[in-house]
């Protein structure tokens, strides 16, 4: 019962804070962390300790999967070079920078242990960054790079973390062995993810029941993550490969009913999981401060100096890496011809989107209690430093990101260009639909002319709608007028059906069937509008 109350309380708080964030125009992840920080010291609020296994096994796979499914494979492939430079190169660079800097402050702590903390704080969590990026209208390519980075960087960081922890706890490592482990993690993750994707695609093609189809979709991330982790491959890579493959092919793998249901389900699950983990991050403050305050070997001055140093290195490392990675790679003629150098504002805004998230805290909580030979080390300080980096980057960068974007005057994507591309493709699609209609009508031979006229009119209206989006917004377009009037008509129809149900003239099942048809039409009209 207590667990159920905690879950209900977390979900309720997430919903309430998200509503407030939308009303205030604030970023929900940041506000959830702040609320969690405040609630962590309220005696009436149940205190929930974050279990690293729940995050790394229970939360990370589905969030990675839905992010991969929603990622554009052509955009991911086109931006693969900058994505890998950030998700692999920058993570390694940040790990080394933090590890060596902290080792200077804590010379008695082995370098391998400080490197483990470097790997913990190295990967940004792009949930908050992409949320604000979409809201303030950052260029589509910037968002694509951030999303791609977030798909891969956790895999790099977790491999580095395992290597550093193994070295710190006394395992003998060789360069050849470390390289072999990294290759097994990467290649094994790709192999298992690819195999899982092919098998799951085969299942989706043969399942025609939306509920079963979506149950398979829900299981998909764990079906590849868990086997990959069992053989010491990267579960993160496996989930990403599976998600990218299936997401790119869902239009041909699943029925329309399955896709509509899956989109609604995953949107809700993603909203709740992301909200709960950010809230839980804030709620950990009480435990972390208590552990830190009760450790007699950790001085306040050391805590302050280490916190400022690590936070500064984490933020600075992204800037130090970003500009050479952006411009030095363009010295290669082939790269420069394919992808000319962007304005300075683009790497600057990418450098300012390094907000950390729950994976960082989960990895910190998974640190071993002692080092090789039972040697103690300031584990409580390391957990505090990871927590400080999360809160510091979320508040510092998340709150100021919109202002930085306005200051840099980064241009948005041209909506007219998107509308023109859509209208052009829609025109080609309309021609193809007309040709198919004529072919089917000739083959059947007995299709009523009224039906054909209605279908041709529908195609013409859809094509006109795409071209109308290119026009100005001063006057109501014919399609907008149609949507407004049709929505009013649907409201009237809905009232009649509901009254008939209340009076006993139709059963509940008839109302639900009619309601579903009207809801589908209404959602389509609102989307077009």
Note the pLDDT of residue 397.
Answer: 86
Structural domains in the chain plus CATH codes: 2-408 (1.20.1530.20)
Query: 428-436: which pairs have CB atoms within 8 A and are 24 or more residues apart?
Result: 430/459, 430/460, 430/462, 430/463, 433/459, 434/459
Tens of pLDDT, residue by residue over 325-381, are: 999 998 888 888 888 888 899 999 999 988 898 889 999 999 999 888 788 899 999
Instruction: List for the chain the helix, strand, coil content (%; round to 5).
Output: 80, 0, 20
Residue 501's nearest CA partner among 490, 509, 489, 491 is 509
Residue 464 backbone dihedrals phi, psi, to 5 degrees: -65, -35
The yes-or-no verdict on residue 225 having pLDDT over 90 is: yes
Alpha carbon distance 86, 286 (integer Å): 33
Tell me the two tokens of residue 36: 């969690």
Note the pLDDT of residue 385.
Answer: 96
Pairwise pLDDT comparison (208 vs 443), residue with the higher score: 208
pTM, rounded to two decimals:
0.87
Please check whether residue 358 is in contact with residue 154, taking contact to mean a CB–CB distance below 8 angstroms.
no
Q: How confident is the model at residue 126 (pLDDT cuts 50, 70, 90)?
A: low
Alpha carbon distance 136, 422 (integer Å): 22
Q: How confident is the model at residue 2 (pLDDT cuts 50, 70, 90)?
A: confident
In a 13 Å sphere around the CA of 27, the CA atoms on its Cβ side amount to 26
Alpha carbon distance 128, 31 (integer Å): 11
Tens of pLDDT, residue by residue over 66-124, are: 989 988 889 899 999 999 999 999 999 999 999 999 999 999 999 999 999 999 999 99
Of 242-251, 265-274, 457-466, which gets the smallest average pLDDT?
A: 457-466
**What residues contact residue 48 under an 8 Å CB cut-off, 6+ apart?**
6, 10, 280, 283
Q: How confident is the model at residue 293 (pLDDT cuts 50, 70, 90)?
A: confident
Alpha carbon distance 157, 171 (integer Å): 19
List Cα–Cα distances, 515 to 332, 487, 493, 502, 512, in angstroms. Answer: 60, 13, 9, 14, 5
> Looking up tokens 């510091």, which residue turns up?
392
Please check whether residue 483 is in contact with residue 529, taking contact to mean a CB–CB distance below 8 angstroms.
yes
Element (H, E) at 401: helix 399-408
Note the pLDDT of residue 472.
Answer: 55
Q: How confident is the model at residue 191 (pLDDT cuts 50, 70, 90)?
A: very high
Length of the chain: 529
Residue 171 backbone dihedrals phi, psi, to 5 degrees: -75, 140
The yes-or-no verdict on residue 473 having pLDDT over 70 is: no
């Amino acid at each position: 019962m207590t667990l159920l109350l905690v879950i209900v309380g977390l979900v309720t708080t997430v919903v309430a804070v998200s509503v407030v964030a939308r009303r205030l125009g604030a970023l929900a992840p940041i506000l959830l962390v702040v609320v969690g920080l405040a609630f962590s010291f309220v005696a009436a609020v149940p205190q929930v300790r974050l279990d690293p296994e729940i995050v790394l096994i229970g939360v990370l796979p589905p969030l990675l999967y839905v992010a991969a499914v929603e990622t554009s494979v052509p955009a991911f492939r086109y931006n693969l070079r900058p994505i890998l430079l950030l998700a692999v190169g920058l993570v390694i660079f940040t790990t080394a920078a933090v590890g060596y800097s902290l080792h200077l402050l804590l010379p008695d702590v082995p370098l391998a242990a400080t490197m483990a903390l470097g790997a913990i704080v190295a990967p940004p969590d792009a949930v908050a960054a992409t949320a604000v990026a979409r809201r303030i209208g950052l260029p589509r390519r910037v968002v694509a790079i951030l999303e791609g980075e977030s798909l891969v960087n956790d895999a790099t960081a977790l491999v580095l973390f395992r290597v550093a922890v193994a070295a710190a706890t006394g395992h003998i490592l060789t360069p050849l062995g470390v390289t072999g482990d990294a290759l097994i993690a990467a290649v094994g993750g790709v192999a298992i993810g690819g195999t899982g994707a092919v098998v799951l695609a085969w299942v989706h093609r043969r399942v025609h029941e939306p509920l079963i189809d979506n149950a398979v979709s829900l299981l998909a991330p764990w079906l590849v993550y868990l086997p990959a982790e069992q053989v010491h491959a990267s579960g993160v890579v496996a989930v990403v490969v599976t998600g990218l493959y299936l997401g790119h092919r869902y239009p041909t793998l699943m029925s329309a009913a399955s896709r509509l249901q899956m989109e609604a389900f995953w949107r809700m699950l993603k909203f709740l999981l992301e909200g709960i983990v950010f809230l839980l991050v804030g709620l950990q403050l009480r435990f972390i401060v208590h552990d830190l305050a009760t450790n007699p070997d950790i001085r306040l001055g050391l805590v302050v100096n280490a916190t400022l140093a690590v936070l500064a290195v984490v933020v600075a490392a992204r800037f130090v890496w970003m500009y050479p990675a952006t411009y030095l790679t363009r010295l290669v003629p082939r790269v420069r011809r394919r992808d000319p150098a962007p304005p300075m504002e683009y790497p600057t805004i990418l450098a300012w989107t390094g907000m950390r998230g729950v994976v960082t805290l989960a990895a910190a909580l998974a640190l071993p209690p002692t080092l090789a030979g039972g040697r103690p080390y300031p584990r409580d300080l390391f957990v505090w430093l990871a927590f400080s980096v999360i809160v510091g980057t979320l508040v510092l960068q998340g709150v100021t990101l919109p202002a930085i974007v306005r200051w840099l005057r980064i241009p948005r994507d041209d909506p007219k260009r998107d509308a023109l591309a859509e209208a052009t493709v829609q025109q080609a699609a309309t021609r193809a639909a007309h040709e198919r209609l004529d072919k089917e009508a000739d083959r059947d031979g007995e299709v009523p002319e009224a039906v054909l006229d209605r279908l041709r009119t529908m195609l013409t209206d859809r094509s006109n709608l795409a071209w109308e989006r290119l026009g100005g917004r001063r006057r109501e377009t014919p399609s907008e007028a149609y949507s407004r009037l049709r929505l009013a008509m649907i409201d009237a129809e809905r009232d009649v059906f509901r009254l008939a149900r209340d009076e006993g003239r139709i059963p509940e099942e008839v109302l639900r069937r009619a309601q579903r048809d009207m809801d589908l039409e209404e959602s389509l009209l609102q989307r077009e509008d």
